[in-house]
Structure 1
Amino acid sequence: MAQQEVLTSHPFNNVTENIFSKIGANLHRRQNHPICIIKEAIYDFFNSQRPGTYAKFDELHPVVSAAANFDEMLVPAGHVSRSPNDTYYIDADTVLRCHTSAHQAATLRQGHPAFLITGDVYRRDSIDQSHYPVFHQMEGLRVLEPDEYGGDPAAGAAAAERELKELLEGLAQHLFGSGTECRWVDAYFPFTTPSFELEIFFNGQWLEVLGCGVVEQQILDKNGFEGRRAWAFGLGLERLAMVLFQIPDIRLFWAEDQRFLKQFRAGDLRTAFKPYSKYPACFKDVSFWLPETGFTENNLCEVVRGAAGDLVEAVELIDAFTHPKTGRTSNCFRISYRSMERSLNDEEINAIQAQVREELTAKLGAELR
């Protein structure tokens, strides 16, 4: 699908202009960008483990079928991630991928037994300094050869789990330093069993860095590797970069400000971000009676992002009140506006806030107070 077809008049389409503008930015392919630096560091590690083994893909378009994004990855029909509240739909059958796993089945069908897929992914989410509707993931997978586990399925699952944990602990030490303490936490993902999350102890606290597991057998059986066993992982590049480079606000990754971009160099994982002048925030509150149905905080955040773009820093519920007689509920949200590059003036923020108020009524059916 061509990029211009992402914005359509289809009634199911919920891709805003703000989100559309991010498609094709390809931060993960800009050589000196922190996202690309992390990607290349991970490539280097996997190349060192099994030279020439892993096919690498970082140009796959983010528009995918809902079937590839959900069905082929065994996401249940009623799973919350399928909701338009969480996922950007172009039409009822087409989405902006919400994970790089959306390409896993197709890549297996192409005959690749080991690969790393990197790309931008899209999710409707809250607004704060660590969440953004577009971020970058890397998907890794390797199918084991039968002679690596004697052809026995149970032994194959154990071998896949063992190799996976050894590799990812090695990756954590490659990125964060030798001696980095790791621990494994049981988790649930529809497409792996058993499933795990890897946590590392870094700067005095435990941090979750990725999810992984042994690939569900039916995914392999349906996509060209019947009877084989495999492992897979998925990690967020922003999460790693914010920790490694001490970047405090996820919006900075999208900045074109040279004071940010010139601080990083390809191959250097030890750069600590040096904050430059931080411009003051502007706070605006908005109170409204909730409509009887259909309101979610994600929908509110989309309205605010649509009006403010990257000028919005946070949206926080600061008060909720239910009228004792009518049973109606009122919410008050505080919106923090802050530019990473300049001071904001009252005139432009008032104009943005007026647009937010108008669209709360027009799009979400809220009654302003």
Structure 2
Amino acid sequence: MAATAIRLPRSMALVAARRFSAAPALTATTRRCCIRSPTSAHILSTTTLRFLSNSSSSPAPPSVVEIDGRKYNTDKWFNTPANVIAAASRRLHLQEDHPVAITRQIIESRFPAPTFRYVNSLHPVVSTFQNFDSLGFPPDHPGRARSDTYYVNSDTLLRTHTSAHELETFRANASPGFLLSADVYRRDEVDRTHYPVFHQMEGARVWDRRTEADEKGDLTAAILRDLAKLQEHGIAVEDPNPPFHDETNPRQAPQHSPSEVEALGRHLKRSLELMVVEVFSRAKKAKALAGVETTDEPLRMRWVEAFFPFTSPSWELEVYYEGDWLEVLGCGITKQPILDAAGVPSQMAWAFGIGLDRIAMLLFQITDIRLFWSQDERFLSQFRGVSTDLDKLRQFVPFSKYPACYKDVSFWVGGDGSLHNNDVMEVIRSVAGDVVEDVQLTDSFAHPKTGRQSLCYRINYRSLERTLTNAETNRLHDDVNEALVQRLGVEIR
């Protein structure tokens, strides 16, 4: 998403269709024998070990799999590779002095307790009801496809967004607001800004008609009283949008009155503007501490109308930073049926979602998402002590730039000629792990006589921590080719 080398997602946590990823490394030498999470002693089940060892020659799934300490039965829907399973116990958003955890702390500081409760330790495996049905996703939504989502079985999956816990958190009704941070999982392309595991934060603030409404049952006055408690920030904000638009960004009538929607929108926007000011102010200070020259250009923000399945009206917040508009987050007024289903129909709420990894990449100027999963002291040592003193935060200083090694693989698509791009990416990543920096489809054509489809992918092998030798890169590429043949039924050209 911008003039920096960072693409911020179209709608962060609130949009199920956008991706962003990260997972622990399984190098050419370790992928068959070392299946431990790189930062813990957590070991996958024996069944999963056998599955990983044989994965390049046999696609048969295990009958039982252990994920973050819990065991699950699998079926034909199972498509979760061992490197993703291993990442499920990492929880970078809770790892002290980690950039993702530091980013979470900075955002939480703008939403203080006891008004906001922090929910950060929910297990990553959820039901299809939690992830899709509870939020109104239609049965044919593309996010439900095995090409997009990691399934354990037909009814169970690794959550694709923090919104999977929205219904249960509203139902708990433990505080007027909450911030829910978690690791989430999606199958996606391979490049410097995408990884199969990433982190999101979901936030919400509620008002209850039973205790806060006026004599007419209206919440406007209560919301405006809380708005008055929020500080001013003095930053230029472009907001040409009306509080709602019945055709393009509708109010939820008759449940929500026009004045309630206007007041709630103002409270939501001010709250998030204050959070963004905090993040970008710290980004500027971090540059200064690292001795990086900064511009005197003032921070600017703007609101644009948006659409999300869980909110209406909805907006996105963009920030003008270093010469371009960056899309930072998505938000809106919670759909009333979600609150009804949670057993709190008297409540009205706003909600937002934000990608922690993307914000951390911007905050620390980290241009390769794989670094978040590195155990190299040259990376980790740069953030020591920041969790306990956020004023120590400084911009990341790259410690190496090892050479890239590009190799192509061309093949005829087998079977009925259909092949999802994410399936190719998944096979390459599961074999090469963090040694693969990016993968690009460089050529596609159909044979003029047979109609067979041919694809060519360019794979960039580059380690973050050392120079790869030609011999090991060739062996790794041979393993990738073999896995593509065995798992996808392609014919190498």
- The 1:186/1:255 distance shift into structure 2, 3 A limit, reads same
- Indicate the larger mover: 66-75 or 4-13: 4-13
Residue 38 (structure 1) shift: 0.6
Alpha-carbon contact 2:445-2:453 (below 8 Å) kept: yes
CA distance in 1, matches of 2:475, 2:130: 41
- The 1:117/1:226 distance shift into structure 2, 3 A limit, reads same
Map 1:278-289 → 2, pairs under 5 A:
278-289=401-412
Counterpart check, 1:228 vs 2:347: yes
Residue 347 (structure 1) shift: 2.4
- The 1:163/1:89 distance shift into structure 2, 3 A limit, reads same
Alpha-carbon contact 2:412-2:452 (below 8 Å) kept: yes
Aligned residues: percent identity?
A: 47
Tell me which structure has the larger Cα radius of gyration.
Answer: 2
The match for 1:64 is 126
- Indicate the larger mover: 263-272 or 155-164: 263-272
Residue 2 (structure 1) shift: 5.6
Deviations 1:280-337 (A, max 9, x none): 1111100011232441111011101110111110000111122222222211100011
The match for 2:5 is none
The match for 2:199 is 136
The match for 2:47 is none
CA distance in 2, matches of 1:24, 1:322: 43
- Indicate the larger mover: 109-118 or 53-62: 109-118
- Alignment: residue pair count: 366
What secondary structure does 1:211 align onto?
strand
Counterpart check, 1:3 vs 2:90: no
Map 1:1-369 → 2, pairs under 5 A:
3=68, 9-47=74-112, 51-112=113-174, 113-146=176-209, 147=213, 148-149=219-220, 153-154=256-257, 155-177=259-281, 180-264=299-383, 265-266=386-387, 267-268=390-391, 270-291=393-414, 292-369=416-493
Alpha-carbon contact 2:439-2:458 (below 8 Å) kept: yes
- Indicate the larger mover: 342-351 or 23-32: 342-351
CA distance in 1, matches of 2:162, 2:447: 45
- Indicate the larger mover: 355-364 or 31-40: 355-364
What secondary structure does 2:441 align onto?
strand
Residue 71 (structure 1) shift: 0.6
CA distance in 2, matches of 1:218, 1:42: 28
Q: What amino acid is the match of 2:202? A: E
What secondary structure does 2:382 align onto?
coil
Deviations 1:39-89 (A, max 9, x none): 011111111xxx411111111011111100111111111111111111100
CA distance in 1, matches of 2:124, 2:457: 32
CA distance in 2, matches of 1:310, 1:268: 31
CA distance in 1, matches of 2:100, 2:138: 31
Residue 270 (structure 1) shift: 4.8
Alpha-carbon contact 1:153-1:227 (below 8 Å) kept: no
Deviations 1:65-118 (A, max 9, x none): 110011111111111111111110000000100101111101111123411100
CA distance in 2, matches of 1:325, 1:341: 47
Higher relative contact order (CA 8 A, sep 6+): 2
Alpha-carbon contact 1:137-1:236 (below 8 Å) kept: yes
In structure 2, runs of 5+ residues without a counterpart are 1-65, 214-218, 223-254, 283-297
Alpha-carbon contact 2:444-2:455 (below 8 Å) kept: yes
Alpha-carbon contact 1:245-1:269 (below 8 Å) kept: no
Deviations 1:162-201 (A, max 9, x none): 2111111111111102952111122221111112211111
Q: CA RMSD in A?
A: 1.8
Alpha-carbon contact 1:144-1:230 (below 8 Å) kept: yes
CA distance in 2, matches of 1:187, 1:315: 31
In structure 1, runs of 5+ residues without a counterpart are none
CA distance in 2, matches of 1:176, 1:245: 11
Alpha-carbon contact 1:88-1:124 (below 8 Å) kept: yes
Deviations 1:120-148 (A, max 9, x none): 00000101011111100000011123334
CA distance in 2, matches of 1:131, 1:287: 23
CA distance in 2, matches of 1:284, 1:214: 48
- The 1:106/1:298 distance shift into structure 2, 3 A limit, reads same
Q: What amino acid is the match of 2:267? A: E
Query: TM-score when scaled to structure 1?
Result: 0.95
- The 1:143/1:293 distance shift into structure 2, 3 A limit, reads farther
Residue 24 (structure 1) shift: 1.1
CA distance in 2, matches of 1:364, 1:2: 25
Alpha-carbon contact 2:74-2:153 (below 8 Å) kept: no
Query: TM-score when scaled to structure 2?
Result: 0.71
What secondary structure does 1:196 align onto?
strand
